[in-house]
Chains A and B, each alone.
Chain A
Amino acid sequence: MLIMNEHLELLDLIVADVLKSTPTTVKFFISQHIDCVGCRLSHFCTIKDVIKTYEFDEQNFLETLSKYDIQQL
């Protein structure tokens, strides 16, 4: 069965943009023990990089992140 992921567009977003445009996500990042908040390189990394680096489950991660109603910059 083909599982469709509705939130693939979030993958290419830059972490710094997400944190800036939707500051409520800061809490989520911290709760997941992701070090991006305050990191000097966060404008080089995408959500995809975060999922890969921290070995999160892509589907679950995107599902949760999408609940924050990310504003595109």
Chain B
Amino acid sequence: MNLSPKDLKQVVVFQNATETELQLILKNSIIRSIEENEFFFFQGDAAEYLYILITGQAKLMQSNPSGQQVNLRTLHPWQMFGALGAVRAEAIYPATAQALEDSSALAIESGFLHKLLETSPKISFDLMTLMTSYIQEMQARYRELATERVEQRVANALIRLAGQSGIRAEKDAGIELSFSRQDVAEMTGTTLYTVSRLLSDWERKGYIKTGREKIKILKPHDLVRIAEGLEK
């Protein structure tokens, strides 16, 4: 696979980078391809590379010492991940990156990007923009965890997943999500049992339809009402 500077312009952090900078980035990076369910890196590894997903889909997840996992976010092509090492010296990855399907990513040396950030304010600002948007997203999720009922949290998780990676099915057929009940449980800090109970209830009411590793939102309006804690 051959990448050009133009391809890299699709990466938010590199949208304002110069042609020379993009060439340099390509020169200091390698492409890593991994199969479904394999890992780009593990939580706790030294953050020697940062990645840009090129093809496929991956997830970032974090686990606590007893092994319970939470999904932090789903990654799509041209999104950057694992960039901590470029900002902080001797950083370790705070999360694990696992491929949800056969995927490939551009691996850029953290030390190289660190040097580039020192000389390029535009790339630095774009990285800050990305980081602040992640912080805002995490703040919203923290607020949900602290204040919302589990029903709202699960509805919010489905809406967030729809916003990030939902596909509008053919006419009148809803929004398709490729996530399992277990994924939703991990995202919302609840149990598989609770998620199953809620999804079955919503399915009975006709709001959603569930299948193997699939959830389809049939009535987005009703789900948003639940997420916002409003009566129908």
Residues of A within 8 A of B (CB): 35, 39-41, 44-45, 49, 53
We find that the number of chain B residues with CB closer than 8 angstroms to chain A is 14
Which A residues are CB-close (under 8 A) to B159?
40-41
10 contacts between A and B (CB under 8 A): A39-B224, A41-B159, A41-B163, A41-B175, A41-B223, A44-B166, A44-B168, A45-B221, A49-B220, A53-B219
Q: A40-B159, A40-B163 are in contact. Are A45 and B220 (CB under 8 A)?
A: yes
Which B residues are CB-close (under 8 A) to A45?
220-221
Annotate B210-232 by CB proximity to A: 1 below 8 A, 0 otherwise.
00000001011101110000000
Which B residues are CB-close (under 8 A) to A35?
221, 224-225
Write the nearest CB–CB distance from B216 to chain A, whole angstroms.
12
Q: Is the Cβ of A44 less than 8 Å from the Cβ of B224? A: no
Write the nearest CB–CB distance from A16 to chain B, whole angstroms.
11
Q: Report Cα–Cα, A51/B225, bound state, in Å.
A: 17
- If over half of A's interface residues share one DSSP class (helix, strand or loop), that class is named, otherwise mixed; here it is loop
Of B175, B217, B220, B223, chain A has the most CB atoms within 10 Å of the CB of B220
Which B residues are CB-close (under 8 A) to A53?
219, 221
Which A residues are CB-close (under 8 A) to B168?
44
Which A residue sits closest to B225, measured CB to CB?
A35
B13 sits at the interface (CB 8 A): no
Which B residues are CB-close (under 8 A) to A40?
159-160, 162-163, 224
Given A41-B175, A41-B223, 19 more pairs with CB closer than 8 A: A35-B224, A35-B225, A39-B224, A40-B159, A40-B160, A40-B162, A40-B163, A41-B159, A41-B162, A41-B163, A41-B217, A41-B224, A44-B166, A44-B168, A44-B175, A44-B217, A45-B220, A45-B221, A53-B221
Q: Report Cα–Cα, A45/B166, bound state, in Å.
A: 12
